[in-house]
Structures are given as C-alpha cells and as structure tokens.
Amino acid sequence: MQSRGWWWYDILLVTGDAYVDHPSFGAAVISRVLERSGYRVAVLAQPGWHSAEAFAAMGRPRLCVMIGSGNLDSMVAHYTAARRRRGEDFYSPGKRTGLRPDRAVIVYANRAREAFPGVPVIIGGLEASLRRFAHYDYWDDAVRSSALADSGADLLVYGMGETASLEIAEQLKKKRPVAGLTDIRGTAYLTREPEQCPFPHVELPSLEQVRADKRAYAEAARAEFAEHDPVRGRALFQRHGDRTLVVNPPAMPLDGAALDAVYELPYMRWYHPDYEKDGGVPAIDEVRFSISYNRGCFGGCNFCSLAFHQGRMVTSRTADSVVREAEALTKLPDFKGYINDVGGPTANFSHPSCKKQLKNGLCPNRSCLTPEPCPNLDASHAEYLTLLRRLRAIPGIKKVFVRSGVRYDYMLEDKSGEFFSELVKYHISGQLRVAPEHCIDGVLDHMGKPHIGVYEKFMDRYARLNKRAGREQYAVPYLMSSHPGSTLADAIALAEYLNRRRRSSEQVQDFYPTPGTISTCMYYTGIDPRDMSEVYAARSREEKDMQRALLQWRRPDKRALVIRALKKAGREDLIGYDERCLVRPEHGQRVKSAPKGKRTTPRPKTPAVAAKTPGKPEYRAGWARPKPKKNAAKSGKGKRR
C-alpha cells in the first residue's frame, strides 16, 4: 500500500485461504474484478482471529469489509466425513493446518465488526453461499440458522459473486445505506420489513419449523432448489425469529464476453512471495497450468453442491479467449508444454442443455440427464472439440489434458462420436476419471446418477476406442458408500458386482453430508425432497464404516469389518474359499464350501479394455491388477530379487 501511495483504501477483502493470485481462487477473482472498476482493494489472507488486531492493521476501509472462508467450506477443509481432523490443508502455506478458524465466515465477521464499528460487513464465497438458508450442519448434527444470522453481517452474496459484489460497491460509493440494498440479485439480507423486496416471493417454513419438523425441512429444501434459477426464480422468505431472511433471485450467469473479461485480468498465477519460505501453497500445483473454460452444471448429482452455488445453467468462455490464455502460458519460464486441464465443474458441458431454458429457465421438476436424458437435450460436443483442436495446434504446447470430471452419459448422447474418439486419442493422461458411484438402480436414482448399464456401455466403447487408437489407458472409477438409499445389502451387492468382474477400487468416498445438497436433506430427514418419499439413510458410524469396508474388501485391514458386516446382513455365504466369496473365514471358523470342481457362479465375460494386447481383462480400466502367471517361477520371470 505504501509503495502505491495508498493512504486509504475502499474494500478490505478477507479470505480463509492463503492468497493465491490465480483465477481458480475466489478471492483473487473478486479482488481483480473490483480493482478493474477502480476500487482500491486490500487483501487480508488467513488473519489471526483471536483478536481484531490483524483486521485493524491496514486501517478503516472507506466502503466495506468483504469476507469469505476460502475455496472450501471451512468445516469441510478441517474435517473428514468421519469427523476426524485433517492432517493437511492444501490451501495453506506448507499444508499447515489451523491457520483459519472453524466456521470462518462467522468468526471473521465478528472480528471485522469489532475492528470497524459501523462499516458494512458483506459475507460471500462458497461457505456463505451454501449456508444462506437454515441448514442441517453435519458437525453439530443439528439445524443451524442462516450464516447471515449467525455472523451478524449486513449482506450475504451467494453464487459466483462478481456481479453482486460490484453492484454493492457501486451503491455504497454512492452513499446508499447498506440497509437499503434490498434489490440486488444474488444477495440475501435479514429484515423486519420483508415487503421491501421488489421481487415476487415464496414463503418457506420458518427456522423454528424446520428445526422441529423434518418434513418441513424437506419442503423448504424442495422450494430452495426449485427457485434457484436466474430466469424464473423468485425471492424466498424464511422467518428467523422476529426477522425475515430474504434471499433474492440468483444473478444471471456471466455470458461468454463477461467471462472472458474476468479470466483475462492480470493475474500473477502464483501465490504471494511471502509464502516461499514455508514451501508455497500446494493448491496451486494442480491448477497453475490449467484453464477454466465453463461454469455451471446441469448434471444433477444430488450429493454435489455446485448446482446450488454456480447454478445449473452452463456458460462458457469464447474459444479466442481460451486460446489467448494458452498462448500466454507458453511464455511462462517453467511451462513444460503440458496444459493440465481445460474444463470446469464438468469438462464436457460447454453450453446450456437446451435452447428453451434461455427463455423459460431450467425445468424445476426434472433433471436434464437422469433417469433418462431429456428429449430436448443438446448433446453436441462440437464447440468444445473445436477448442481442443485449436489448443493442440498452438506452438509450444505438447499435450492438452482433460482432467475435470466428464459426464459419460452425456458423451454417449453425442451421436457423432468425434469428441469421444479424440478424447481417447489426444487428451487423457493415462487415466480417465469417471464416476459410476454405485451399481444398484435405486441407489443411483437417489444420487441423481445414470443406471449402471449406461456406465458399462460407456466402458465397452472406451475399450474399442483405445484399441483402435493403439492406447493402453485406464479409467479410474469413483465409488460412494453410505449414500442415502444405500443399505448394507446394497453395499454387499456392489461388492459382489465388483468381485464378479474381478474389479476393485481404492477410489471410495464415504458420503459426506455437506451444506446445500439434496442428499444432505435426505440424510438428515429420511425424505427425498424431490417427491417427499421416504428414503433410508445410514447414520451410525458403524454402518458407514461397514459400507465403506465392503467396497474395499480386498484390503487386509478391512477384513474383520467386512466379516462383521456380512454376518450382520446374514450373508455368511460370502465368507469362504470359493471365488464368489469376498473374504476368507476367521481363524478357526468353519464354512460350507461349494462342491469340488463346480463353480457356484458363471465366470463373467469381462470386456477387454483397449490395450496393445487384445483380450486383456478389465484391470486395464484401472479396477484391479493382473494376477501373476502360474509358470512365472519356472520361466525365471517375476522372481523376487
């Protein structure tokens, strides 16, 4: 500030992450957008929060304090799905933990109030966005108030925030009182006079009602998701004691030209040099040579919070802008010729799912892709494919990878098949990340995922394309245990499914009830808010551990837990020496074996995944390792040395 001759500034921007000036970090984007419009922004990264001293160090801001917890909800950043404290924080220098508080938005807002009485306090970012309504909190195992009420802030910005943050700054610069900022899309406020809201509205069950009645909670969640649409969405009112929480309709997503302007701001693409002595900020490693291409996701995964934050309407940058960024990357001294990723929430979504939504908004009562793809779905990948071809042709670029998640069901709807073919040939770094998640239709329906037959169809085509291209590439499948709708019997069925196909996977995620998802509502209430039907949810730590262990039954450290789960489910037939069994019996336990020489289940026909040697089993898709040949010892190959 002194070197710039700044003896005053406009906005103090507080973030719970270390400061990384890269467009993948929300604090960098908001600060650069405000700076472009002429505002002086001071960034306060990971301040000490036990007193207001760090907040007051740069003096009183002229307009406001804007606060975010960082790229993750602070509780997710600190705790695992088992509620254990994490040992590393990739958004902090040297992966150090403890540099931000739990519930960072609330703590920072209180310290800002203490440091600057009378200065407007605005909270935003992912944590505030997903906690804007009364919400179930997994760590408290209770329903908490809106983050706005808990923090005592004046305004809450939800969604990506560029438009709302800029408008707030402009209105405050015009000396408009913060209490009068009731007409800004993408914001929320608490008031005793909700009639000030200029938008049509829907009344939700109150905080007191959703705390007392789980059905009321599910009804509120259904309305929150139904109205989260920038075209047809209405404001939502929710009583919090003697005040009303007013959540205005979402801001319109930025179009291509606006996204170009945001991503072409003069980011340093690196962490602050003060962090060098601590080993840097590891979160930059994966994204430094990656390019953000799109925003929004119409995939409809119920356990994902992206739709409730970025929205379901997909927008993307222009190809010319992305090419300019790629050309700029080639001029960086440590660029080796590899672009790690070109994508977003879902890499192969590059435009709205259908033309109707541009006028009418997205359908409130159905998903674009599940349980079956909508007849109006525009599945063309031509725009994205053209972009990738242009990037491949840039001098200095050796390889362009696609490492964001891809929706394989959406790829299969593209009848031309060109994108799938070129993805396999040019854009996979040995492994393609896909997420079948489960194999039981009922569980997949609760997840908002396609049925397993769609995944198997995709894998067959993936195998053929790899073979045609002469590639030996893997598919890394992600699985989820204990999602609402999944019983212990369903977890066993998934383990049997994997075992029959000689597959295994270490990529297993225990369902994590994070704020702002439909699945979290199911977990807490036992109700699917989409149709208000009952749904089973594994809530005990014992059952959650059992379901996860069953999907990793090959691991020796999981053996005892798998046996306990099989006994509890009455499936001791899967304990034994037959190939259909998941584990061998415990020492001294007698089991009834299958008749000698007879197979209890037919050997499945496992499709060969494309490889240089045809006919290899599906371990080449990343599921399991090959077994050693029986005559390896005789031939002298494969001996331990």
Pairing of strands 135-137, 338-339: unpaired
pLDDT value of position 590: 61
Indicate if the pLDDT at residue 46 is higher than 60. Answer: yes
- Lowest-pLDDT choice from 295-299, 408-412, 416-420, 611-615: 611-615
The answer, yes or no, to whether residue 605 has pLDDT greater than 50, is no
The single residue listed with the structure tokens 């672009």 is 339
Query: In b/e form, how buried is each residue of 370-381, taking b as 16+ CB within 10 angstroms?
Result: beebbeeeebeb
Please determine, for residue 68, whether its predicted confidence score (pLDDT) is greater than 60.
yes
- Strand 142-144 relative to strand 135-137: parallel, antiparallel, unpaired? antiparallel
Lowest mean pLDDT among 62-71, 126-135, 352-361: 352-361
pLDDT of residue 588: 58
Region 482-493: mean pLDDT is 97
Spell out a b/e string for 108-117, using b for 16 or more CB atoms within 10 Å of the CB, else e: bbbbbbebbe
Q: Is the pLDDT of residue 159 over 90?
A: yes
| Residue 551 · residue 582 · CB < 8 Å | no
- Phi, psi (degrees; rounded to nearest 5) at 497: -60, -45
CB neighbour list of residue 361: distance below 8 Å, 6 or more residues apart: 229, 230, 231, 232, 233
pLDDT, greater one: 612 or 227? 227
At 331, the pLDDT band (50, 70, 90 cuts) reads: very high
The pLDDT value recorded for residue 589 is 62
The tokens of 476 are what?
A: 């890394």
Contact 518, 130 (CB under 8 A): no
| 173 C-beta neighbours (distance < 10 Å), count | 15
Predicted TM-score (pTM) of this structure: 0.89
The pLDDT of residue 325: 97
Three-state DSSP class for residue 3 = coil
Q: Provide the pLDDT for residue 626.
A: 39
- 77: enclosing H helix or E strand: helix 74-78
* Per-residue pLDDT reduced to its tens digit, 531-584: 999 999 999 999 999 999 999 999 999 999 999 999 999 999 999 998 999 999
Task: Give the pLDDT confidence score for residue 591 in this predicted structure.
Answer: 60
The residues, any chain, with a CB within 8 Å of residue 180's CB and separated by 6 or more, are: none
Structure tokens at 361: 């908004």
Residue closest to 410 by CA, chosen among 299, 294, 292, 297: 299
Average pLDDT over residues 279-295: 95
Q: Which two tokens stand for residue 640?
A: 């331990």
Asked if 252 contacts 230 with a C-beta cutoff of 8 angstroms, the reply is yes
**What's the CA gap between 641 and 107, in Å, rounded?**
57
Per-chain mean pLDDT for the chain: 91
Q: d(Cα 76, Cα 139) in Å, to the nearest integer?
A: 10
Whole-number pLDDT of residue 404: 86
Q: What is the mean pLDDT of residues 609-637?
A: 38
Which has the minimum average pLDDT: 63-77, 359-373, 392-406, 600-614?
Answer: 600-614
Residue 72 has pLDDT above 60, yes or no: yes
**147 or 366, higher pLDDT:** 147
3-state secondary structure of 295: strand
pLDDT in tens, 161-207: 999 999 999 999 999 999 999 999 999 999 999 998 999 999 999 99
pLDDT at residue number 502? 81
Instruction: Provide, rounded to the nearest whole percent, the portion of the chain with pLDDT above 90.
Output: 84
- Residues 178 and 351: their CA atoms lie apart, in Å, by 36
Residue 620 has pLDDT above 70, yes or no: no
Average pLDDT over residues 574-597: 74
pLDDT digits (tens, 9 = 90+) for 353-399: 998 888 899 998 889 999 999 999 999 999 999 999 999 999 999 99
Domains within the chain, CATH numbers bracketed: 11-189 (3.40.50), 430-439+479-641 (no CATH)
Pair 424, 465: CB distance under 8 Å:
yes
Are 252 and 296 spatial neighbours (Cβ–Cβ below 8 Å)? Answer: no
For 163-234, list the strands marked E by DSSP. 187-191, 201-203
Is it the case that residue 629 has pLDDT exceeding 90? no
